[in-house]
Amino acid sequence: MTLLDKHGVRLTVDDAIATVTLANPEKRNAQTPAMWRALVEAGALLPGNVRIVVLRGEGRSFSAGLDRQAFTPEGFDGEPSFLDLARGTDEALDATIAEYQEAFTWWRRTDLVSIAAVQGHAIGAGFQLALACDLRVAAEDAQFAMRETSLGLVPDLAGTHPLVGLVGYARALEICATGRFVHADEAARIGLANVVVPGDELDGAVADLAGALLAAPRDAVIETKALLGGAVDRTYEEQRRAERAAQARRLRDLAGIGD
């Protein structure tokens, strides 16, 4: 069932699995503000029974990053150009970037597990969109790069926090500041990719992972994801308390005496 198909974003739902496809292969799924708004809409349209969201890019590349038209004086039709943004007030500039970031934030909702299926290039905004997901399955030809710094900018689409969490501060700094390509084999070695497979096995590997995730009861996965997601911000003792509270909820639910 197709629930959304516009601005280079297509949302389809098959029972508990939703697939969000970047569907502008002619431009290697380059991103625009209109695409970001469509991604936000895709998140809002998910039916309540969806447990897994797969993010994929149509064609040879996952996403080659921000559409270079954004760097022209005219920008995109109906959108403020970068020059317009720079000339605006601090409040207006902050609000616009915050709106853009919304396309990258809903993928880690505790009631979902999101999987990025990455082939070819995942550059800049494309890299950050892959980082927005909980898990990443990469084809052998996948190449990740954070090119913002080489353009005089910074990664500002919510990608820095998960990147540091995955590979550590020093490696994240080196990847971002140099803008170099991280190939699939290195991505797997440093924890950026959960698994790397031949390109023709990408869809199958994602389907296998989704099936394995669906095998566990939904509420147990939700509680576990919340525990792990909050662990970095808790002390050891706080995490122990959180584990006890989560387990108490699960035991009472299984015993039929939950709230």
pLDDT digit string, tens, across residues 81-117: 888 888 999 999 999 999 999 999 999 999 999 999 9
Note whether 228 and 156 are same-domain residues.
Answer: no
Instruction: Find how far residue 138's CA is from the centre of its chain.
Output: 13
pLDDT at 23: 98
Domain with residue 159: its CATH number is: 3.90.226.10
Residue 9's pLDDT is what? 98
Residue 137 within any structural domain of the chain: yes
Report, as an integer, the average pLDDT of 240-256. Answer: 96
Q: How confident is the model at residue 247 (pLDDT cuts 50, 70, 90)?
A: very high
- Looking at the fold, whether 96 and 163 belong to one and the same domain comes out as yes
Is residue 119 assigned to a domain?
yes
Give a yes or no: residue 32 inside a domain.
yes
Assess whether pLDDT exceeds 70 at residue 259.
no
Residue 17 lies in a domain: yes
224 in any annotated domain: yes
In the beta sheet, which residues pair with residue 115? Answer: 54, 135
Quick one: which of 96, 157, 145 has its CA closest to 120?
145
In this prediction, residue 55 carries a pLDDT of 98
237 lies in the same domain as 116: no
Q: How far is CA 227 from CA 53, 87, 235, in A?
A: 20, 43, 12
Reported as half-sphere exposure (CB side, CA atoms, 13 A), residue 225 has a value of 21
Average pLDDT over every residue of 170-181:
98
Q: Write the burial class of residue 118 (CB in 10 Å: 0-12 exposed, 13-18 middle, 19+ buried).
A: buried
pLDDT at 68: 86
Residues 30 and 99 in one domain: yes
Catalogue the E-assigned strands of 7-112.
Answer: 9-14, 17-22, 52-57
* Residues 194, 100 share a domain: yes
Q: Which of 61-70, 100-109, 193-202 has the lowest mean pLDDT?
A: 61-70
Instruction: State phi, psi for 61 to the nearest 5 degrees.
Output: -125, 145
* pLDDT value for 39: 98
Q: What is the pLDDT of residues 118-161, one digit of tens each?
A: 999 999 999 999 999 999 999 999 999 999 999 999 999 999 99
Tally the domains of the chain. 2
Please choose, from the candidates 132, 161, 160, the residue with its C-alpha nearest in 3D space to the C-alpha of residue 62: 132
Domain residues for the domain of 239 are 218-254
* Same domain flag for 91 and 103: yes
